[in-house]
Amino acid sequence: MAEYVPDFDISKPTIARVYDAILGGKDNFAADREGAAAYMKHVPNSKEVAIDNRLGLEKGVAYMAKHGIDQFLDIGAGLPTMRNTHQVAQEINPEAVVCYVDNDPIVLSHGRALLADNESTTIVTADLRDPESILNHPDVRKVIDFERPIGLMVVGLFMHFHDEENPGEWVGALLDACPSGSYLLMTDFADTGEPQQKAIEKAGLEALGNGWVRKPEKILEHFQGLPLVEPGLEWVPRWFPGEPDREVPAAEDLEPYHRIMMAGLGYKA
Ligand code: SAM
């Protein structure tokens, strides 16, 4: 039998595969597992941080689906893992469509296998840094109707860009193409001056050369002035969109590793 030769470079870690390794997935190679080990070294609870991020995704998608969003544009989708966007959305609305976008070709090759029997879901290789590559992609246009409200998702992605790159401009360009009634779901690493936050930044820089933390006010800026669904930008274990009165643990009672990932959901009126 011919030896399996992947058609992508496995000698260097990629964000998607390192994240997969941290979450305990199987779609990664030695260089990625080394990257994951760097995360574990600096933040032993890195897996819990990644799970917080996924829970943020799940809560945000469920809120949007329950509030009438039936098409999702998930940028930086990552490799298939626990409770993917289409699973969460289609549980609430079986008619919901999802377009996954990622610039790592492994996401397309592995995602296709998962989605072979799901006609209302597609995966596209395109880059957030070039919003037109997303907006003009024929497969995006096939699934997403830009005349109707969209759930735009930039989850677990912004930390990989430095503000010097002006990543808000890319999101702004995507949002401009979304009609009123759309949402922007975002999670990001926050910097409120705690050591575990600096540790995760150090891990990211060592493992991938990126993965910065941001002051909450900087994260908010990237929502492009959209008002946020209550309770606004919050640590994921305290974040239940649309349930501002829900009893949640006090921020100071959270484990330090739960005070790394923040989530927010903006609404385009
Ligand atoms: N969104 C998923 C989640 O939150 O669980 C995956 C997050 S993973 C940390 C970040 C993903 O963004 C990776 O799959 C990576 O390949 C992708 N990514 C990184 N830079 C990107 C870019 N410029 N355009 C599109 N995707 C990108």
Q: Ligand 1 pocket test: which of 17, 88, 103 has the largest number of ligand atoms within 8 Å of its C-beta? A: 103
pLDDT for 7: 67
pLDDT in tens, 18-39: 999 999 999 999 999 999 999 9
Residue 111 pLDDT class (50, 70, 90 cuts): confident
Number of H helices, E strands in the chain: 10, 7
pLDDT in tens, 113-171: 777 678 899 999 999 999 999 999 999 999 999 999 999 999 999 999 999 999 999 99
Q: Could you write out the three-class secondary structure of 29-86?
A: CHHHHHHHHHHHHHCCCHHHHHHHHHHHHHHHHHHHHHCCCCEEEEECCCCCCCCCHH
Give the distance (Å) from ligand 1 centre to CA of residue 181.
Answer: 25
Measure the CA–CA gap between 193 and 160, rounded to whole angstroms.
19
pLDDT for 3: 53
- How large is the ipTM? 0.99
pLDDT for 8: 78
pLDDT for 141: 96
Q: Ligand 1 pocket test: which of 27, 88, 160 has the largest number of ligand atoms within 8 Å of its C-beta? A: 160
3 Cβ contact list (under 8 Å, min separation 6): none
Does any ligand 1 atom lie closer than 6 A to the CB of residue 21?
A: no
Residue 1 pLDDT class (50, 70, 90 cuts): very low
pLDDT for 223: 98
Does pLDDT of 2 surpass 60? no
For the domain spanning 15-79+87-224+257-267, the CATH number is 3.40.50.150
